[in-house]
Amino acid sequence: MPCQIISGKKVADQVKDEVKKRVKELQACGKTPGLAVIIVGDDPASQIYVGNKERACQEVGIHSEVVRMTATTTEAQLLEVIDDLNKRTAVHGILVQLPLPRHINEEKVIEAIHPEKDVDGLHPANMGQLLLGKPRFIPCTPYGCLKMIESTGYEIEGKHAVIVGRSKLIGKPMSALLLSGNATVTICHSRTKGLAEYTRKADILVVGVGKPNLITGDMVKPGAFVLDGGINRLPDGKITGDVDFPSVADIAGIATTVPGGLGLTTVAMLLKNTVEAVKYGG
């Protein structure tokens, strides 16, 4: 059986259509959802991601504001901006584009965002809610993974899910989501010995590492569902994931691609979270 490719664009478009509808309903009640994105420094990849988020907001009618701060911004200055945005009722969601310059404490910054405006779902209160199976905001990349899986009708319950990478953006929240869906979850990371022994046992394999071609076809169970969260820029400028797609596509049953996969659903889920945030009042 040839590997089924899930279109991130199709899944993202469906989510965006729902969001658009919800925005219209909210506007009819006099409320326009608002998202503020803060970017510190001039990392080129971050600039692209922020531009994509801004455009996506415009597409669905969400009011978007981008706060651009220089690389020399102090932690105190950034916290002050977050404090102002926390107080503004027209801003329902706040996202700080990561990574931050080294002199700024990322944890402190995330904790400064009001949990009811933390549409990236990274605040400890929101991570805790997710772990308890009562999420307020689900981090956008794992949320997109879930949407991709749901779009195929694939049953998570009872499956063995293996996640490679344990970051707060992808691996950790993904493990909580799959556990809530009654999968049996194994998490691998940089200290895991014999990675392939684990990945070969995965019915669902989620990869979020940041290393091109880390996962090759011989590391995948025949028929597995493979979701590639990696976004890596190669020296020639091309974008690739963590999965060696040509060899994995010969073995996997269903797979996402990079580009064209989770990058698109990540943005769509951010829009969904922003619209959801309106219920907390801004």
User: What distance lies between CA 265 and its chain's CA centroid?
Assistant: 8
From the list 109, 107, 91, the residue with the least C-alpha distance to 39 is: 109
Structure tokens at 89: 């009722």
Q: Which residue is nearest to ligand NAP (CB)?
A: 167
Q: For residue 202, which phi and psi values (nearest 5 degrees)?
A: -85, 125
Is-catalytic flag, 238? Answer: no
CB atoms within 10 A of CB 132: 10
Q: Amino acid identity, residue 72?
A: T
Stretch that binds ligand NAP, among 77-85, 89-97, 122-130, 188-196 (CB under 6 A): 188-196
Is-catalytic flag, 118? Answer: no
Q: Which is nearer to ligand NAP, 164 or 278 (CB)?
A: 164
Q: How far is the CB of 32 from ligand NAP (least distance, A)?
A: 25
Question: Looking at 78, 170, 176, 185, which residue binds ligand NAP (CB under 6 A)?
Answer: 170
Stretch that binds ligand NAP, among 16-24, 84-92, 114-122, 258-266 (CB under 6 A): 258-266
Stretch that binds ligand NAP, among 19-27, 75-83, 151-159, 187-195 (CB under 6 A): 187-195
Q: Residues 70, 76: contact at Cβ < 8 Å?
A: no
Q: Residues 64, 35: contact at Cβ < 8 Å?
A: yes
Q: Which is nearer to ligand NAP, 23 or 170 (CB)?
A: 170
Is-catalytic flag, 42? Answer: no
Spell out, one character per residue from 193 to 232, where the chain touches ligand NAP: x when CB under 6 A holds, - when not.
--x------------xxxx--x--------------xxxx
Query: Which residue in 120, 228, 242, 244 is the catalytic one?
Result: 120
Instruction: Identify any residues that bridge with 226 across adjacent strands, giving them in sequence order.
Output: 205, 255
First to last CA, the chain: 49
Q: Check the CA dihedral 240-160-264-275 and report its sign.
A: negative
Residues near ligand NAP (CB under 6 A): 141, 164-167, 169-171, 188-192, 195, 208-211, 214, 229-232, 262-263, 266
Active-site residue numbers?
Answer: 53, 97, 120
